[in-house]
Structure 1
Amino acid sequence: MQQYFWRHIATDAGADGIDVESEKPTYSWLSEHGYRPFVAALRRHHDVTFGEFWSEHIAPGADADAYDWSTSDKRTVDALEHFLDRRASRYNLSESSVDTLRYRLNTYLRAFQHANDHARLLDAVARDAETPAYEAADEVFAAIDHLNEATDKRDTTIKRVADIVEAFYSHLVSRQVAATNPAAGLDDEFKWDTTTDGDTPALTTEHVQALTDAANSPDEQLLVVALAAWGLRANEVASLHASQLDRETDDVPRIEFDDRKNGPGSVSILYGLDVLDDRLAALSDRSAWNGYLFPSKQESAEHVSRQTVWRRFHDLTDRAGLPERIDGERPSPQLCRRFWYDRYSETLQDIITGLEDIAAEQGSSDPQVVLKNYLSDDRARKLRRESMREKLADAFGTSRAKSDSRCT
């Protein structure tokens, strides 16, 4: 019932501007959207009202209990959730970061079950256990061996799993729950090669193409463009206002921010003006538009929340057929932002590579010398923008998100 709620009801509610973590959908809303059978099933099969279900399983703090851990051992689940709770509070982790750690620990649990025919992580390490320490280590190493040999996961991914597993057991030792950390020394034992595996996960051009094809309304198209073509954060997309758009500049259209993560700043709109114009046209037809590009339908809020952006994005990834996990992470707005950074990094490298012949003519082995000393700032900026637009065009296609002819 929880999985159904998040996949269907929460998605529809988000489309109506309802943040289900802070606002319970009303019975009339549920009825209007065809969810009366869901409410009836709660009463008939689980003897709870929808309000009770929402308070106990949907409201903040209930999500962890709903997670489908790959073990039925309550002591193991309690230890894992306690570790994640402490990790989240002491490291000030976001919900998405905790979800990623939970996924990696569950990956380890499945491997542990396969290698050892059980998934009771505390049995061999508890302070009152009679199991020798080397046997506890053998179980851990067997699980990691399974990940290395029986899966297609990259070294970088397996090492991330191993790192959080080692931290989990270390947490148990510090709490005096475990007598030993059986995961100590995994790095020395396995010698994972993480030098050529790439860096943090990001969406690929093919992923963005699929999202663009799946977006079937101006607001969904703008959502993809704002995240992947402009590189905005989810909270910046949620609160984007028409007054932030500067299209009168002689340079390129820009989005101005009075307060970003690192202070005031602006973002160049190198791509997607057609999509932006379509969205503005749709909003301008409304009788009482407040200027926000993603206005909320709730009277208590002017624009949608960050969580709503995430939920709408997840609904879009489902329709686009994106993988459930990309290198261990669920597709998210963060991976769109990383896509933008990856394309920009490639742009800089392409420019430097193209200057190699010029550098050779000048008797220099370093093309960056040409970039810094012989190209004007305006020319270097133009090269970067032209290259970046080409890369974004590959992902979005000229029919969906054209660049403005003034962006030169």
Structure 2
Amino acid sequence: MADSTNSADQLEGTDAHGPPTRRWTDQDLGDMQQYFWRHVASDAGADGIDVDTEKPTASWLADNGYRPFVAALRRHHDVTFSEFWSQHIAPDADVDGYDWASNDQVTIDALEHFLDRRASRYGLSDASVDTLRYRLNTYLKAFKGANDHADLLHSVARDTDIPAYESVDEVFAAFDHLNERTEKSDTTIKRVADIVESFYSHLVSRQVAATNPAAGLDDEFKWDTTTDGDTPALRTEHVQALMDAVEGLEEELLVVALAAWGLRANEVAKLHVRQLDRDGGDVPRLEFAERKNGPGSVSILYGMDVLEDRLAQLSDRSSWNGYLFPSTQADADHISRQTVWRRFRELADAAGLPERIDGERPSPQLCRRFWYDKYSETLEEVISGLEDIAAEQGSSDPEVVLQNYLSEDRARRLRRDAMRERLAAAFAPPNETLDD
């Protein structure tokens, strides 16, 4: 009989809401493999993930209670989950590699190791990790263009004979290259600089590098991030392309809920007919008992026809449970946030959206930012229209009129009418002329 003290079955306790917990310090790598196959692989399989060919993502591991397992790999065995999976679980898996702008394997390994640590320690989503990888590769391309090589570690290594100022010169040259030879905004370049500084700092903390050559970038370049480089968002042509690519009411409602109503992916996934309030005001609303900032409601200024058609479609189903995006899984009432992301990504591919929009992959988040952009434009339009009234009142600031001279209902109607027009224009096909 196996020694229960050292067995992978040794438990510290059981979390009623997650996988078994255990005394990780007692586990060798063989025990960790056994734990993986008994628990992680089983749960992953239930979610349709074949661990022999597909590595469970950092977000999936976190959502399913496996952060302690990932942390134990890092602390007690000095391997990231990615390294553990590729070396001990699926060494023969055919995994597509990222197209890094370097042939130096030491540099690539260091970058991937840094991203793995970021993902596990910060609980980053796959989309967030992809964004960081893109920014690091942007730097790598600029570094290669400026210095005629893409070896990031040699000049900063602890045993290098290269003077520290030369490694700083290489980094500064890379950002000169970015500033002068690309059309990226200051804010985008600043985001690249931030993750590059963190990467070198990571190398120093692990005693791989002797110095952080990116530490003085902010003082050197003084990027202006106050007036340009807004947070990435879908543009009107992107929304129109998505609408052209939809196949069926469900996909159409997905785009409308994300871009015309500004909902978060998890809010879209859980939409229920009981949230619809047709009688609570002058426009239909969606009521949320819980949102990020507490209870709230969202006005449906565009897309009510799509919603009505979807409700009619679903009401014909004898077993409909009231969710607008019901799940096909027997153990779930509605689709998941991850499913919203996956379906949107597939639709974005079908619509031919760019692989990157200002450095970020198309995602539900960029739809929500599209909505905010349109709302900001609406406020500017309304305020601009009040300039003559402001002048008559002896004020140079039209916002004073909006706040002090218009009733709350009147101001709200002005905003809604302007926003409704902007959304209708954005969702209209490119060659369609809207009636006044």
Q: TM-score, normalised by structure 2?
A: 0.76
SS at match of 2:373: helix
Give 1:290's aligned residue: 321
Q: Alpha-carbon deviations, 1:128-176, whole Å to 9, x = none?
A: 1222112212222222222223322222212211121112112222222
* One of 18, 21, 24 as aligned partner of 2:48: 24
Asked if structure 2 preserves the Cα contact closer than 8 Å seen for 1:24 and 1:54, the reply is no
Q: Alpha-carbon deviations, 1:1-58, whole Å to 9, x = none?
A: xxxxxxxxxxxxxxxxxx9886227xxxxxxxxxxxxxxxxxxxxxxxx762135899
Which is worse superposed, 109-118 or 366-375? 109-118
* One of 77, 96, 100 as aligned partner of 2:108: 77
SS at match of 1:329: coil
State whether structure 2 residue 182 is matched by structure 1 residue 158: no
Asked if structure 1 preserves the Cα contact closer than 8 Å seen for 2:185 and 2:229, the reply is no
TM superposition shift of 1:231: 0.3
Structure 1 residues 109 and 353: alpha-carbon distance in aligned structure 2, compared to 1, 3 A threshold: same
Aligned-residue Cα RMSD (Å) equals: 2.6
SS at match of 2:295: strand
Structure 1 residues 139 and 358: alpha-carbon distance in aligned structure 2, compared to 1, 3 A threshold: same
Q: Alpha-carbon deviations, 1:94-141, whole Å to 9, x = none?
A: 332222111101111222233333322111111112221122122222
Which amino acid counterpart does residue 138 of structure 2 have in structure 1? T
TM superposition shift of 1:332: 0.8
Asked if structure 2 preserves the Cα contact closer than 8 Å seen for 1:207 and 1:322, the reply is yes
* One of 106, 118, 128 as aligned partner of 2:137: 106
SS at match of 2:365: helix
TM superposition shift of 1:91: 4.2
Asked if structure 2 preserves the Cα contact closer than 8 Å seen for 1:109 and 1:119, the reply is yes
**Alpha-carbon distance between aligned partners in 1 of 2:169 and 2:369, rounded to the nearest angstrom:** 38
SS at match of 2:335: coil
Give 1:174's aligned residue: 205
Asked if structure 1 preserves the Cα contact closer than 8 Å seen for 2:188 and 2:229, the reply is no
**Alpha-carbon distance between aligned partners in 1 of 2:236 and 2:45, rounded to the nearest angstrom:** 32
Asked if structure 1 preserves the Cα contact closer than 8 Å seen for 2:44 and 2:51, the reply is no
Structure 1 residues 309 and 67: alpha-carbon distance in aligned structure 2, compared to 1, 3 A threshold: farther
Asked if structure 1 preserves the Cα contact closer than 8 Å seen for 2:101 and 2:141, the reply is yes
Where structure 2 has 5 or more consecutive residues not aligned to the other structure, the ranges are 1-42, 62-80, 87-94, 431-436
Which amino acid counterpart does residue 48 of structure 2 have in structure 1? K
Which amino acid counterpart does residue 390 of structure 1 have in structure 2? E
Q: Alpha-carbon deviations, 1:354-380, whole Å to 9, x = none?
A: 111001111112212211121111101
Instruction: Note the 1:143-222 alignment, pairs <5 A.
Output: 143-222=174-253
State whether structure 2 residue 271 is matched by structure 1 residue 247: no
**Alpha-carbon distance between aligned partners in 1 of 2:286 and 2:399, rounded to the nearest angstrom:** 30
Which is worse superposed, 371-380 or 128-137? 128-137
Which amino acid counterpart does residue 54 of structure 2 have in structure 1? W
**Alpha-carbon distance between aligned partners in 1 of 2:124 and 2:365, rounded to the nearest angstrom:** 14
Give 1:43's aligned residue: none
* One of 364, 368, 384 as aligned partner of 1:337: 368
Q: Alpha-carbon deviations, 1:168-209, whole Å to 9, x = none?
A: 112222222211111122223333333332421111122111
State whether structure 2 residue 331 is matched by structure 1 residue 300: yes
Which is worse superposed, 165-174 or 55-64? 55-64
State whether structure 2 residue 254 is matched by structure 1 residue 230: no
Structure 1 residues 179 and 360: alpha-carbon distance in aligned structure 2, compared to 1, 3 A threshold: same
Asked if structure 2 preserves the Cα contact closer than 8 Å seen for 1:116 and 1:143, the reply is yes
Give 2:298's aligned residue: 267
State whether structure 2 residue 278 is matched by structure 1 residue 278: no
Asked if structure 2 preserves the Cα contact closer than 8 Å seen for 1:83 and 1:171, the reply is yes
**Alpha-carbon distance between aligned partners in 2 of 1:219 and 1:230, rounded to the nearest angstrom:** 15
Asked if structure 1 preserves the Cα contact closer than 8 Å seen for 2:285 and 2:300, the reply is yes
Asked if structure 1 preserves the Cα contact closer than 8 Å seen for 2:107 and 2:152, the reply is yes
Instruction: Note the 1:345-364 alignment, pairs <5 A.
Output: 345-364=376-395
SS at match of 2:290: strand
Where structure 1 has 5 or more consecutive residues not aligned to the other structure, the ranges are 1-18, 26-49, 400-408
* One of 365, 388, 392 as aligned partner of 2:419: 388
Give 1:52's aligned residue: 52
Which is worse superposed, 87-96 or 295-304? 87-96
Give 2:69's aligned residue: none
**Alpha-carbon distance between aligned partners in 1 of 2:140 and 2:105, rounded to the nearest angstrom:** 13
> Which protein shows a greater Rg?
2
SS at match of 2:52: helix
Structure 1 residues 55 and 383: alpha-carbon distance in aligned structure 2, compared to 1, 3 A threshold: closer
- Larger RCO (CA within 8 A; separation ≥ 6): 1
SS at match of 2:53: helix
Give 2:348's aligned residue: 317
Asked if structure 2 preserves the Cα contact closer than 8 Å seen for 1:238 and 1:306, the reply is yes
Asked if structure 2 preserves the Cα contact closer than 8 Å seen for 1:24 and 1:51, the reply is no
**Alpha-carbon distance between aligned partners in 2 of 1:286 and 1:83, rounded to the nearest angstrom:** 49
Give 1:126's aligned residue: 157
Give 1:40's aligned residue: none
Which amino acid counterpart does residue 96 of structure 1 have in structure 2? A
Paired residue total? 357
Give 2:4's aligned residue: none
**Alpha-carbon distance between aligned partners in 2 of 1:367 and 1:145, rounded to the nearest angstrom:** 42
Q: Alpha-carbon deviations, 1:64-91, whole Å to 9, x = none?
A: 9755033343432332233233434544
